[in-house]
Amino acid sequence: MITTTKSKEIQQQFQERMDYNELLNCMRCGFCLPSCPTYIETGGQEKYSPRGRIAIMKAITDGILDADEEVEHSLDLCLGCRACEPVCPSGVKYGQLLEEARDILQEHKKQSLPVQALRKSVFHGLFPHQNRMETVTGLIGLYQRSGLSKIARKIGFIDLFPESMATMEKVLPEIPTRKEIKQRPRFFEHEGEKKATVALFAGCLMDTMFFKTNQATITLLQKAGCDVVIPENQLCCGALHGHSGEMKKAIEMAKQNIEAFEQANADYIITNAGGCGAFLIEYHHILKDDPVWAERAQSFVSKLKDISAILVDLHFHETHILRLPEQTITYQDSCHLRNVMHTFKEPRILLQGIKGIHFKEMEGADTCCGSAGVYNIVESKMAMQILDHKMEKVKDTNATTIVTANPGCLLEMKLGIERNNQSNRMRAVHIADLLLEALAN
């Protein structure tokens, strides 16, 4: 809750920190409206559109509107998918405005002690420390391997949780042991002719919960002719912090990541998670006012590529035989990979290069699935509404395999499959895992 006594302080912070010229760039044309999931799902309510939210930010800055609970809800309900940005004729950087506004509101928000403790534990105690992430995910892995998961479902314990969370527990990937993670080398040599040296941004959840996808990514890069380095001392990208009003911590983590990858001295920095990539590629923005780090951040960003982009650049699909059993495949875009990193042709090029499959483009593949980081937990009702509509589009393709390029999207699509009782005929898979599977056939 934001108290009225904080309104003047918030207004002052908006005046000092919000990019007013960027707020004025919005021409109120409405091109963003058909691309905004929350505007559509709420029946066209202006306050839940990008145009409406920018108007709210400007009104707070101008002192016309107080930052009350309704304002907070309007901004919180935004998925941050940034689908509004590619269609904006003025090129308004909506995502950057949203993150700054959320950060200001979070700083002035009065929260209960339990919420403060939870946020501190998650944002400061867990995600910035990869060893702790390994411990927590290791416990989940133990829960899976020990048989406790089956017992918990059998006795109905899982049913005590909200439906989406209960189903999510069922679709979590098989998590490796901590020993497997710790024993993995930091360097992998190329196969065939060497074409580049790349540094893998391993990620926090990608290098624990989705460890096998990281391994698939490394193998693909090796076969594409890359030496692969996994820099030590890298951290979580900071996206969760940046989207949740913890920008100071996100900046601190960005600096450590930049330093870690500078030491690798690679030709490219590779990511296989659209959400991570979209935040990494804006390090130069969040550090633009830091004279020591601005240039270093720009250098970091200039090397960043998604796994699909570098594979296409290196003609992987042309120099390797990719084959799968006959099936219909569709692709769900990672919003951030598409709208921020502008990578959407490359995954489709790779998928269409697989022999034996029929690629069917999904209507609305470029719209959000409802995952959006932790959105499907904190805004579960809206997330499930969006997901259910997404699954209707999936069904229209008659696909048996849904491919995506982001861990959150992958779990969300698996959740959609379970919610629609389609697990006996349909699966969701990360593009790196599918390409490795195609390479092995």
**pLDDT value, residue 157:** 63
**DSSP code, position 326:** E
Radius of gyration of the chain (CA): 22
Mean pLDDT of 10-27: 92
pLDDT classification of 175: cutoffs 50, 70, 90: confident
Q: Which residues of 34-73 are buried (b: 16+ CB within 10 A; e: fewer)?
A: ebbbbbbbbeeeebbbbbbbbbbbbbbbeeebbbeeebbe
The confidence band for 121, taking pLDDT boundaries of 50, 70 and 90, is: confident
What confidence tier does 162 reach under pLDDT thresholds 50, 70, 90? low
Is residue 124 very low, low, confident or very high in pLDDT (cuts 50, 70, 90)?
confident
Distances, alpha carbon 170 to alpha carbons 137, 208, 426, in Å: 15, 17, 15
Residue 82: the pLDDT is 94
**What average pLDDT does this structure show over 332-361?**
96
2 pLDDT higher than 60: no
**What mean pLDDT do residues 265-283 have?**
95
Please give the single-letter amino acid code of residue 275.
G
Which helix (H) or strand (E) segment is 188 a member of? Answer: strand 187-188
Residue 386 parent element (H or E): helix 380-397
Instruction: Give percent of the chain with pLDDT exceeding 70.
Output: 95
Q: Order of strands, edge to edge, in the sheet holding 187-188?
A: 187-188, 226-229, 196-200, 268-271, 304-306
| Backbone phi, psi, residue 342, to 5° | 55, 40
Q: Quote the tokens at residue 314.
A: 């290196």
CA–CA–CA angle 355, 357, 358 (5° rounding): 125
* DSSP string over 123-168: IIIITT-HHHHHHHHHHHHHHHHTTHHHHHHHTTSGGGS-HHHHHH
Q: Tell me what pLDDT residue 159 has.
A: 64
Q: pLDDT, tens digit, for every residue of 44-65? A: 999 999 999 999 999 999 999 9
In angstroms, the first-to-last Cα distance of the chain is 55
- Per-residue pLDDT band for 399 (boundaries 50, 70, 90) equals very high
Enumerate the H helices of 26-112 as residue ranges: 37-41, 50-61, 69-76, 84-87, 94-107
Residue 304, beta-bridge partner list: 269
Q: How far apart are CA 194 and CA 323, in angstroms?
A: 24
In degrees to the nearest 10, what's the CA dihedral of 332, 333, 334, 336? Answer: -160
What are the pLDDT digits (tens) for 377-395? 788 899 999 999 999 999 9
Amino acid letter at 238?
G
Tens-place pLDDT, residues 182-201: 899 999 999 999 999 999 99
Which tokens is 98 given?
């949203």
Q: Write the DSSP assignment of 39-62 as a string of letters.
A: HHHTTS-GGGSHHHHHHHHHHHHT
pLDDT at residue 161 greater than cutoff 90: no
Cα 6 vs. chain centroid, distance in angstroms?
A: 32
Give mean pLDDT, residues 119-145.
Answer: 81
**What is the pTM for the complete model shown?**
0.91
pLDDT on residue 177: 84
Residue 436 has pLDDT above 70, yes or no: yes
Helices vs strands, H then E, count in the chain? 26, 9
Confidence of residue 163 (pLDDT cuts 50, 70, 90): low
- Residue 270, helix vs strand vs coil: strand
| pLDDT the model gives residue 151 | 74
Amino acid sitting at position 147: G
